[in-house]
Structure 1
């Protein structure tokens, strides 16, 4: 759907599938921001890394532990958290998860 300005209703969890590796897909991209969908199985981990901008994470399905610097948060379906810029963060699923990042 990159750069698609067509108005239509979508179910975000149906737009990305679970795979044997972490699956990410750009759902929407404009000059201002992009939305990236992720699907991760319970045994997959997004290792610590940082980003140059604050990034909202919205959990669409499942439950995960989010580590930000030295703090740990449990995020459930329907909840969100801001990943602060230039601070290491990691995602460890408690169950299979799907989430969207906006950056």
Structure 2
């Protein structure tokens, strides 16, 4: 059994979002991204399907160049290779579920 918390040891960085792997299972990695208002992740694609949960805050989530506002509690699932970007409207805590084969280095490269 693995356990983790989205709320423990939160570290907002002043110059870019903070990415933390909270736990890994046989099939996935659960990642926390914390962002201050105005911080962003540039457009990128994931090589595997992903699920994003906005745990707290407000986020402008761009998909193929179209903006969608996500609010606390919203979930969104994307298939692999869908261009998307994130801009934080108010301080955010994001839970990102990715394949265990995906790399945290790839996620950090979008910051």
Q: Do both proteins adopt the same fold according to a TM-score greater than 0.5, normalized to the shorter chain?
A: yes
Bin for the TM-score computed over the shorter chain: 0.7 to 0.9
**Residue 68 of structure 1 contacts residue 83 of structure 1 at CA under 8 Å; is this kept in 2?**
no
1:15–1:35 distance in 2 versus 1, CA, 3 Å? farther
Structure 1, unpaired ranges of 5+? none
Task: Check 1:47–1:82 CA distance in 2 against 1; reply closer, same or farther (3 A cut).
Answer: same
Name the counterpart of 2:95.
Answer: 100
Q: Which residue of 1 aligns with 2:51?
A: 56
Normalising by structure 1, we get a TM-score of 0.85
Listed as ranges, the matches of 1:1-103 within 5 Å are 5-6=1-2, 11-20=5-14, 21-103=16-98
| Distance in 2 separating the partners of 1:16 and 1:99 | 11
Task: List, as ranges, runs of 4+ consecutive aligned residues in structure 1 with deviation greater than 6 Å.
Answer: none
Q: Mind listing any 5+ residue stretches in structure 2 that lack a counterpart?
A: 99-111
Q: CA deviation at 1:24?
A: 0.6
Matched residue of 1:13: which SS? coil
1:14 CA displacement: 2.9
Please tell me whether the aligned partners of residues 34 and 102 of structure 1 are also in contact (alpha carbons under 8 angstroms). Answer: yes
1:6 Cα deviation from its structure 2 partner:
4.7
Q: Is the 8 A contact 2:54 2:93 kept in 1?
A: yes
Q: How many residues align?
A: 97
Contact 2:5 2:22 in 1 (8 A): no
